[in-house]
Structure 1
Amino acid sequence: MFDKIKTLGELGEIAAAARAKGRKVVLAHGVFDILHVGHKRHLDIGKRHGDLLIVTLTTDRFVNKGPDRPVFSEKLRAEMVAALECVDYVGISPNPGAEHVLETVKPSYYLKGSEYADEEADVTGRIKTERLTVEKFGGEVLYTEDITFSSSNLSNRVMSLYPEETAAYLKDLRARITVDDVKKEVAAVENKRCLVIGDTILDEYIYVEPLGKPAKENIIATKYKSREIFCGGAIATANLVGQVCAGVDLVTLLGRSQSYEDLIRANLHQNVSLMPFYREGGQTTLKSRLVDPAYVKKLIEVAYISDEALPAAEQATLNGWVEKNIANYDAVIVNDFGHGMIDDGLVDIVCRKSKFLAVNAQTNSANRGFNLITKYPRADFICIDEPEARLAAVERYAPIETVVREKLEKKIDCHTFVITHGKLGSIVYSPQAGVKRIPALTGEAIDTIGAGDAFFALASPLLAAGSDPYLAAFIGNAVGAMKVRIVGQRHQITKPEILKYLSTLLK
């Protein structure tokens, strides 16, 4: 069985030798996470159409079915597939798609399930590219027609991957909405023009090995390993909005000295246009953290920040641009980190003139107690975490539902509140429909930085397009669950990945 498992290079040589002898090569590619009778019949059909059946698996890193997937590692998946009698060889692809495998193997037939026959319905957008690659080498796509099962469906319904509360929530949701409903909601925002306003924050991760306490000093010593800088804050929000909206303008504040503007522009999504304003004599906010790489545990933070109020002339220029152009946008999304960019005048402009206003006002170590959501008298959507809600409501112990319904709603004219709860999920409240809790969709977090912003970035344009608040919050929750599995902003979550994960949850 283990002799069947080969490297991609070896599979290319095996396929070439078979073709030289006039034998037909059939290739199947996929995740094959939970092997079942549908997989076996699919592969049996492939073997009947050729002389050599090769199966390649997506490596764990690129299984875009969301957190906690795949259930089985790539080595275990390869072992299971190799155990099937009809399979001649198995390989693990190091790439996210099948194109490189197809170019290496050059199959006569590329095996796909009947659900992929409609290329327009493919959320990943890859099936057309794969078909063209197969045809380039004289092959064709063979769509199998037989009983079909979904590994995602089986894992969701049989294997209990989720806590009881989450499983019950998803079961109820599947009875009420379908994947097509979600696709329609996301498609509805494609032509929206959004303005993102907020502070740029660069997150520097300096990976170190803790060494212990020096004998003569009361400090923790560490050994430097490596470093990364990620574009966070409003940059990360704009990039995620750009995944679902075709037009996004980002108004942000950079420092004239040490602006990092080249790095920022290099990391912008193609749909995002940067509208930078500058703090003369200051630098772009950078938060440097010493991180233990073993578990991505942050040890200490040093903030390089200029967060005093902007000089009047600089603030007037920024505010003037927003006031002049704000009417051109379907939605205004404010990421207020309280680092001196947004003054009372800008708050007044966005509250009075936005067609749809979404606001996140963050409490962090640099502004605790001085950047409360209550400085915005009105909004259409507010998204903050529980400590931020309690600070703004001056309510430490009451249930969070009471904090929102009886405190915040009386202080802010707002249609929809979302209070994110980390591992407890989120609370959604609208005056018309009341309170509903959405449980967390993943139990394991690698890095929580930016998860709430990811939720906010996806839910905001959806609500602006008229989505039901609870559906928008479910989608936001899903993206937040995806984000906590990513270190910093090392990877930008893409629209196909979002749709794929949502499809997995609803099967």
Structure 2
Amino acid sequence: MFDKIKTLGELGEIAAAERAKGRKVVLAHGVFDILHVGHKRHLDIGKRHGDLLIVTLTTDRFVNKGPDRPVFAEKLRAEMVAALECVDYVGISPDPGAEHVLETIKPSYYLKGSEYADEEADVTGRIKTERLTVEKFGGEVLYTEDITFSSSNLSNRVMSLYPEETAAYLKDLRSRITVDDVKKEVAAVENKRCLVIGDTILDEYIYVEPLGKPAKENIIATKYRSREIFCGGAIATANLVGQVCASVDLVTLLGKSQSHEELIRANLNPNVNLVPFYREGGQTTVKSRLVDPAYVKKLIEVAYISDEALPAAEQATLNGWVEKNIANYDAVIVNDFGHGMIDDGLVDIVCRKSKFLAVNAQTNSANRGFNLITKYPRANFICIDEPEARLAAVERYAPIETVVREKLERLIDCHTFVITHGKLGSIVYTPQAGVKRIPALTGEAIDTIGAGDAFFALASPLLAAGSDPFLAAFIGNAVGAMKVRIVGQRHQITKPEILKYLSTLLK
């Protein structure tokens, strides 16, 4: 069985030798996570159409079905598929798609399930590219028609991958909405034009190995290993908004002396337009963290930050641009980190003149107690975490539902609040429906930085387009769950990945 498992290069050589003999090679490519009778019949059909059946598997890192997937690691999946009598060879693809596999193996038939026959309905957008690649080498796509099961459906309903509360929530949600409903909600924001206003933050991760305490100092010594720097803050928010909206303008503040503008522009999505303003004599905020790479645990942070109020002339220029242009946007999304960019004048402009205003005002180590959401008298949507809500309401012990319903709503003219709760999920409040809790969709977090911003970035344009607040919050929760599995901004979450994960949850 194990001699069936080959590298992609070896599979290319085997396929070439078979073609030279005039034999037909059939290729099937996919995740094959929870092997079931639908997979078996699908592969049996493929074998009947050719002389050699090769199956290639998506490597673990590119299985875009959300947190906690795949259920089985790639070597175990390869072993299970290789155990099938109809399969001649198995390989693991190192790439996110099948194009390189197709170019290497050049099959006579490329096997796909009937659900992929409609190219327009393919959320990944890859099936058309794969078909064209197959046809380039004289092959064709073979769509199989037989009993259909879904590994995602089986894992959701049978294997109990989620905690009891989450499983019950998803079961109820599946009875009320479909994948097509979610696709329509996301499609509704495609033509929206959004303005993101907020601080740029560069997150530097310096990976170190803890060595211990020096004999003569009360410190922990570390050994340098490597370094990464990510574009976070409003940059990450704008990029994620740009995954679902046609056009995004980003108004942000950079330091004149150390702007890092080249790095920032290189990490922006093509449809995100940077509108930078500059702090004379200051630098762009960098938050540098020493990180233990074994568990991605942060040991200490050093902030390189200029967070005092902007000089009047610089602030007036920034505020003037926003006031002049704000009417051109369907939604204004404010990511307020409290680092000196947003003054009372800018708050007044966005509150008075936005067609739709979404606000996230963050409390962090640099501004604790000085950057409260209550400085915004009005908004259409507010998204903050529980400590931020309690600080703003000056309420330490009351249930968070009470804090929102009886305190925050009286302080701010806003009718949609989301309070994120980390591993406890989030709560959503509207006056009509009251408070509802959405449980967390993943129990394991690799890196929580930026998860709340990811939630906010997706929920905001959806609400601006008229989505139901609880459905928008579910989608935001899903994106937040995806984000906590990513170190920093090492990978940008894409729209196809979002739709794929939502589809997985609702099967």
TM class, shorter-length: over 0.9
Q: Deviations over 1:121-155 (max 9, x none)?
A: 00000000000000000000000000000000000
- Structure 1 partner of 2:232: 232
What is the CA–CA distance in structure 1 between the aligned matches of 2:192 and 2:304, rounded to whole Å? 35
What is the CA–CA distance in structure 2 between the aligned matches of 1:240 and 1:175, rounded to whole Å? 29
Q: Deviations over 1:81-125 (max 9, x none)?
A: 000000000000000000000000000000000000000000000
Tell me the CA shift for residue 434 of structure 1. Answer: 0.6
Output aligned runs, 1:142-157, within 5 Å.
142-157=142-157
Q: Deviations over 1:204-256 (max 9, x none)?
A: 00000000000000000000000000000000000000000010000000000
What is the CA–CA distance in structure 2 between the aligned matches of 1:491 and 1:249, rounded to whole Å? 21
Tell me the CA shift for residue 271 of structure 1. Answer: 1.0
Tell me the CA shift for residue 4 of structure 1. Answer: 0.2
Q: Deviations over 1:12-69 (max 9, x none)?
A: 0000000000000000000000000000000000000000000000000000000000
What is the CA–CA distance in structure 2 between the aligned matches of 1:450 and 1:218, rounded to whole Å? 32
- Structure 2 partner of 1:447: 447
- Structure 2 partner of 1:475: 475
Secondary structure of 1:488's partner? coil
Tell me the CA shift for residue 199 of structure 1. Answer: 0.2
What is the CA–CA distance in structure 1 between the aligned matches of 2:26 and 2:267, rounded to whole Å? 40
What is the CA–CA distance in structure 1 between the aligned matches of 2:407 and 2:227, rounded to whole Å? 43
Secondary structure of 1:6's partner? coil
What is the CA–CA distance in structure 2 between the aligned matches of 1:271 and 1:40, rounded to whole Å? 43
Runs of 4+ in 1 over 4 A off after TM superposition: none
Tell me the CA shift for residue 432 of structure 1. Answer: 1.2
What is the CA–CA distance in structure 2 between the aligned matches of 1:240 and 1:415, rounded to whole Å? 24
Equivalent residue pairs, number: 507
What is the CA–CA distance in structure 2 between the aligned matches of 1:431 and 1:159, rounded to whole Å? 37
Tell me the CA shift for residue 415 of structure 1. Answer: 1.7
> Is 1:271 equivalent to 2:271 in the alignment?
yes
Tell me the CA shift for residue 276 of structure 1. Answer: 0.1
Please list every run of 5 or more consecutive structure 1 residues that lacks an aligned counterpart in the other structure. none
What is the CA–CA distance in structure 1 between the aligned matches of 2:257 and 2:297, rounded to whole Å? 30
What is the CA–CA distance in structure 1 between the aligned matches of 2:442 and 2:312, rounded to whole Å? 45
Tell me the CA shift for residue 500 of structure 1. Answer: 0.1
- Structure 2 partner of 1:419: 419
Tell me the CA shift for residue 332 of structure 1. Answer: 0.1
What is the CA–CA distance in structure 1 between the aligned matches of 2:439 and 2:368, rounded to whole Å? 27
Secondary structure of 2:461's partner? helix
What is the CA–CA distance in structure 2 between the aligned matches of 1:211 and 1:88, rounded to whole Å? 50
Secondary structure of 2:342's partner? coil
Q: Deviations over 1:182-214 (max 9, x none)?
A: 000000000000000000000000000000000
What is the CA–CA distance in structure 1 between the aligned matches of 2:23 and 2:229, rounded to whole Å? 51
Q: Identity, % of aligned pairs?
A: 96
What is the CA–CA distance in structure 2 between the aligned matches of 1:81 and 1:178, rounded to whole Å? 31
- Structure 1 partner of 2:28: 28
Secondary structure of 2:379's partner? strand
Output aligned runs, 1:39-438, within 5 Å.
39-438=39-438
Secondary structure of 2:410's partner? helix
What is the CA–CA distance in structure 1 between the aligned matches of 2:431 and 2:376, rounded to whole Å? 18
Q: Deviations over 1:165-187 (max 9, x none)?
A: 00000000000000000000000
What is the CA–CA distance in structure 1 between the aligned matches of 2:492 and 2:258, rounded to whole Å? 24
Q: TM-score, normalising length from structure 1?
A: 1.00
Q: Deviations over 1:389-447 (max 9, x none)?
A: 00000000000000000000000000200000000000000111110000000000000
What is the CA–CA distance in structure 2 between the aligned matches of 1:73 and 1:219, rounded to whole Å? 40
What is the CA–CA distance in structure 1 between the aligned matches of 2:269 and 2:368, rounded to whole Å? 31
Secondary structure of 1:17's partner? helix
What is the CA–CA distance in structure 2 between the aligned matches of 1:497 and 1:257, rounded to whole Å? 38
Secondary structure of 1:396's partner? coil
Secondary structure of 2:258's partner? coil
What is the CA–CA distance in structure 1 between the aligned matches of 2:397 and 2:212, rounded to whole Å? 38
Q: Deviations over 1:449-472 (max 9, x none)?
A: 000000000000000000000000
What is the CA–CA distance in structure 2 between the aligned matches of 1:273 and 1:238, rounded to whole Å? 9
What is the CA–CA distance in structure 2 between the aligned matches of 1:405 and 1:335, rounded to whole Å? 23
What is the CA–CA distance in structure 2 between the aligned matches of 1:49 and 1:69, rounded to whole Å? 31
What is the CA–CA distance in structure 1 between the aligned matches of 2:353 and 2:424, rounded to whole Å? 35
Q: TM-score, normalising length from structure 2?
A: 1.00
What is the CA–CA distance in structure 2 between the aligned matches of 1:73 and 1:25, rounded to whole Å? 27
Please list every run of 5 or more consecutive structure 2 residues that lacks an aligned counterpart in the other structure. none
What is the CA–CA distance in structure 1 between the aligned matches of 2:108 and 2:128, rounded to whole Å? 17
Q: Deviations over 1:274-313 (max 9, x none)?
A: 0000000000000000000000000000000000000000
What is the CA–CA distance in structure 2 between the aligned matches of 1:226 and 1:36, rounded to whole Å? 43
Q: Deviations over 1:480-503 (max 9, x none)?
A: 000000000000000000000000
Tell me the CA shift for residue 260 of structure 1. Answer: 0.2
RMSD after superposition: 0.2
What is the CA–CA distance in structure 1 between the aligned matches of 2:311 and 2:279, rounded to whole Å? 8
What is the CA–CA distance in structure 1 between the aligned matches of 2:154 and 2:270, rounded to whole Å? 37
